[in-house]
Amino acid sequence: MWDAIRSNQWKSTALIMLMGVLLVLLGFAIGMSVDPQMGGAYGAVVAVGIWLVMCLVSLMGGDKILLMSSNAHPVEKRDAPQLYNIVEEMTIAAGLPKMPAVYIIDDHIPNAFAVGRKPEKAAVAVTTGLLKRLNRDELQGVVAHEIGHIRNLDVRFMTIASVMLGSIIMISEIFVRSVFYGGRVRSSRSSRSRGGGGGGQAQAILLIVALVIAILAPICARLLYFACSRRREYLADASAARFTRYPEGLASALEKISSRMIGAPQVSRALAPLYIVNPLQGRALFSLFSTHPPTEKRVEILRSMAGGAGYLDYEKAYAKVWGERKRCIGTETLQSEGEQISIRAPIPEMQNRQDAVKQAQEVGDLLGRIMNFLLIPCACGVRIKVPPEFNRPEIACPRCGRNHALSEAQKLTDVADSQTGDPMVFQRQATGWESVECSCGKSTQIGPNFSGNKLRCSQCGQEIQILSK
């Protein structure tokens, strides 16, 4: 894969340089329209200066800015043990030097993205909609895809490219708005009508040229930005298939995610291309302005990997879908792959509706704990989530109307927190699905692939130590 990564880096460098030329040309044209003698040089310097400032801010804390803009909340292993274990597994499979930080976003639309300047300082963020709707195999495929972006150094390039694209768009929009709404067009027309001579005509021509460049530059920059991001999605899919050894997991996840994109809420244009499925483009849309390949093609390639889960198997499936002349992964990687990587069996999952409801309820409880909500279990079965800013002494259950004193509920929570130093112990009796019952009466299901040594009750917060059979 490293030859493909190197190829991407060279192409990315060339594309960023072209975007840089566009940025300088844009600044030069705007400067010339203001001052035909010295304005061009000043405009180019100002444009590069704006880009350098934005790039510095982005490289120093761009990942934090993106996470804050998406309202992502950090989680620990005790908060979301299954998600945390999957990120740990895929970190080891990818050979990353450090496990990425894990974040959760309160959004009912299933999606995920990765950010970070380098593999040692990266983060993976998933939405609550993803946790509610995906099983373990599908969630593992999505996480592996994002880990693949981190390993392939895609997140660093996307950060720099998005900053340069943002600079070009910002400068263009400011100039165009100032021309049409600041009276420069009217003043240019009046100077020509008064017989301003050759100087006035030259000024008008330069203004028109600058307007044309200001309109075309963002379009060209977007084309360059989108062109160098599509192949990265294929490489991340190939990495995910290899890391998980189960291509169907990611294929099924992509179908579920793309089916939920219709009617999705608007997200930041800077953040949208980072998602595993772009929420700003339709499922069937594939054009020059698409940041991602068509989801249908990605799924078809993954499901064509019948022979194995390695890079060579993905390359064969890619050629089968797009044609024999199409190439995705580098020749050096394909020649050095070695033994074939077999596809593993899927993880058995529970299919009944009660389990799906329970999974959604646990995700809601998780989000409540992360956001410091007080969770009050009512006798009717409802969990009442009380926000931190709620200042009344009691709260009524929305279903049965029973009143709950917040002081008593807080005492129970404090007792549960104090018990974390002396956890309960559960001895596993089998390797399949088992029910772990907490002292508060809440039961939690653990599956055959549960690899942790402890879990936390979603109702009272009690820590339960799990002993393997």
Token pair for 11: 């192409």
Q: Determine contact, residues 271/113, Cβ cutoff 8 Å.
A: yes
Closest by alpha carbon to 248, among 333, 172, 135, 339?
A: 135
28 CB-near residues (< 8 Å, 6+ apart): 40, 41, 43, 44, 47
Closest by alpha carbon to 161, among 8, 22, 13?
A: 13
Interior/surface letters 305-320, b for 16+ CB within 10 angstroms, e for the rest:
beebbbbbbbbbbbbe
415 CB-near residues (< 8 Å, 6+ apart): none
CA 14 to chain centre: 25
Q: 80-88 contacts: CB < 8 A, separation 24 or more? A: 80/104, 80/131, 80/366, 81/452, 81/454, 81/455, 81/456, 82/136, 82/139, 82/450, 83/126, 83/131, 83/139, 83/143, 85/451, 85/452, 86/136, 86/139, 86/140, 86/143, 87/124, 87/143, 87/147
55 CB-near residues (< 8 Å, 6+ apart): 160, 163, 164
Amino acid at position 121, single letter = K
What angle (nearest 5°) sits at the alpha carbon of residue 319, between those of residues 313 and 320? Answer: 90
Active-site residue, selected from the candidate residues 76, 89, 120, 146 = 146
The sign of the CA dihedral 61, 62, 66, 72 is negative
Main-chain dihedrals φ then ψ at residue 456, nearest 5 degrees: -120, 130
The sign of the CA dihedral 251, 256, 257, 259 is positive
Known active-site residue 434: no
Query: What are the angstrom distances between the C-alpha of 78 and each of 81, 129, 392?
Result: 6, 20, 30
N-term to C-term CA, the chain:
39
Amino acid at position 454, single letter = K
Q: Annotated active-site positions, please? A: 146
